[in-house]
Amino acid sequence: MADLTTNLGGKLTLKNPVMTASGTFGYGFEYHKFFDISQLGAVVVKGIAPFPSHGNPTPRVAETACGMLNAIGLQGPGVEKFLHGEEYMPFLRRTGATVIVNIWGKSIADYQDVARRLEADKAGIAALEINISCPNVKAGGIAFGTDPVLAKEVVSAVREATSLPLITKLSPNVSNIGEFARAVVDAGSDMISLINTLTGMAIDAETMRFKIANKTGGLSGPAVKPVALRMVYEASHAVDVPVIGMGGICTGEDAVEFLLAGASAVAVGTAIFADPYAPLKVIEGINGYLDRHGFGTVAEIVGKVHN
């Protein structure tokens, strides 16, 4: 049995390197009936803004080859309800899970606002993940994630607002991922996570309509894994902070590929929709791989891919 403990740059220590990707695991509550969610490296909850949000009109999802498009549009309860509503943070605290809160807003002031309120009531919150990469909301989200100057401004502002460890989630919808990785690390991000979804589209030929009301959506699932691996590899060479890799991970072997590419930890997302137990199977799979290859820790394989 390998030691799966994962130290992320001295800022955050996880019992294993497997998290859930924001937006695919609700607020943890929904999956606790299937298994004890404190077994996960971390639970990354669905995006929290300073305000409650309706999200987008329906239909919001469409299945595509080996994946899916979504344009949920960050429906959420808002930070007050998240902190005090029984099924949100109070529930998560009781489970003993390591909780990472994904945050978003429509303006830089919004990001600061939500970070401050989580800072003030941070009991049980291990880190914040700054979402500057949601492709499905008009204001905020990806607008900050596809302009390196704005990305830097958002992260600097959040850095001022909180002492919690900061992860910045990067968009793959850019031509030079290294530039964005460097910008957010310069601005004070302790870690980076990637990839968010790839902007895509699906059309129903018979009805001649968009399959998603928002017209475009974010592509996720096994279909995006090669793109995600390439970007994790590039980003991990651009910065020397820990990288959390995600994009199409379904199995322990998928996760190991991300670790070899340079990720220090991974997140499971869309695979959870197909199998709620997928994150646990990924933990077991990583452990089995390390044992089989005679490695004692996860860190021993991080970035070890070679020709």
Partner 1 sequence: MRQGTIINNVRLKDDYYKVDFFAPEICASARPGSFVHVRISGCGDHILRRPFSICNVNESGELTVIYKVVGAGTEALSRLKSGDECDLLGPLGKPFSRPLDDEVPVLLGGGYGSAAMFMLTKESKTPGVALLGARNSKDILLSAEYRAAGFDVRISTDDGSDGLKGRVTDLLPGVLKDYAGRKLHFYACGPMPMLLALAGLLPDLGYPESELSLDHLMCCGVGACFACVVKIKADNADGFRYARTCSEGPVFRADQVYLEK
Shortest approach of partner 1 to residue 241 CB, angstroms? 29
Q: Which is nearer to partner 1, 130 or 272 (CB)?
A: 272
Shortest approach of partner 1 to residue 68 CB, angstroms? 6
Q: Which is nearer to partner 1, 142 or 272 (CB)?
A: 272
Relative to beta strand 125-131, strand 99-103 is parallel
* 91, 243, 64, 200: CA torsion to nearest 10: 110
CA distance 168 to 160: 15
Shortest approach of partner 1 to residue 290 CB, angstroms? 27
Catalytic residue among 74, 92, 103, 134: 134
CA distance 262 to 236: 6
Binding region for partner 1 (CB under 8 A): 23-26, 29-31, 33-34, 46, 52, 54-55, 58-63, 65-68, 70, 72, 75, 221-222, 270-276
Q: Which is nearer to partner 1, 209 or 293 (CB)?
A: 209
Q: Which is nearer to partner 1, 67 or 148 (CB)?
A: 67
CA distance 51 to 108: 14
Q: Which two tokens stand for residue 108?
A: 């830089």
66 labelled catalytic: no
For the chain, the residue count is 307
Q: In degrees rounded to 5, what are phi and psi of residue 246?
A: -155, 160
Shortest approach of partner 1 to residue 272 CB, angstroms? 7
Give the catalytic positions in this structure: 134
